[in-house]
Amino acid sequence: MGPTVAVLGASGDRKKFGNRALRAFRHRGFRVIPINLEATFIEGLPAFRSVLDVSHPIDTATIYLNPESGLSVLDELVEKKVREVWLNPGADEPQVVAKARSLGLEIVLGCSIVAIGEDPGNY
Reported as a single tens digit per residue, the pLDDT across 17-50 is 999 999 999 999 999 999 999 999 999 999 999 9
Does the structure show a pLDDT above 80 at 61?
A: yes
| Total residue count of the chain as it appears in this document | 123
Does the structure show a pLDDT above 90 at 83?
A: no
Q: What ranges do the domains of the chain cover?
A: 4-122
Phi/psi at 21 (5° precision)? -65, -45
Does the structure show a pLDDT above 70 at 1?
A: no
Specify the CATH class of 4-122 in words. Answer: alpha beta
